[in-house]
Structure 1
């Protein structure tokens, strides 16, 4: 069974590359054994910042009304790819 690929789409016009890279780093650090990788993709859609797992939408800044804290994003990813994983302080 192949490991899931996480895709972060970000708006380059909004200068969200650093935010996307930070989220990618956090997800890779937390899920390095469970994830098959994280891909960053500049979006053609203004204001987009979204995360999907194997093309399944997980988080969308516009639909969620803004950005979430990294611990919430980690919980969303964990719940999707490895629900049994304990995230330590991110679970509090």
Structure 2
């Protein structure tokens, strides 16, 4: 396993694979040398959780929805590359 490892667990019953894959693509594009691995993990029951090294950084059930992409990038950046400027994603 490569570190840091980001997992996106998505509900197959809800057909959220494309959303999960899009988030994965965007994070791999933004952090090409900082993420060791991005895994898509099929789940059921409305799950959509994003974990970084076993820390849940987003849970759809807890936050009542999906993250905005800019917010997700900031959450990941703050943990793996806190000095990185995300350009327009850092602005409100």
Partner of 2:87: 88
Partner of 2:26: 26
> May I ask how many residue pairs the two structures share in their alignment?
90
Deviation at 1:65, TM superposition (A): 1.2
Q: 1 CA distance for matches of 2:29 and 2:52?
A: 16
Q: 1 CA distance for matches of 2:54 and 2:69?
A: 20
Partner of 1:77: 76
Q: 1 CA distance for matches of 2:20 and 2:71?
A: 15
Spell out structure 1 runs of 4+ moving beyond 6 A.
Answer: none
Unaligned runs of 5+ in 2: none
Partner of 2:35: 35
Deviation at 1:3, TM superposition (A): 3.0
Unaligned runs of 5+ in 1: none
> What SS is found at the alignment partner of 2:34?
coil
Q: 2 CA distance for matches of 1:24 and 1:49?
A: 13
> What SS is found at the alignment partner of 1:13?
coil
Deviations 1:28-57 (A, max 9, x none): 00011101010000013x111010011111
Q: Please report the RMSD computed on the Cα atoms of aligned residues, expressed in angstroms.
A: 1.0
The TM-score normalised by the length of structure 2 is 0.93
> What SS is found at the alignment partner of 1:90?
helix
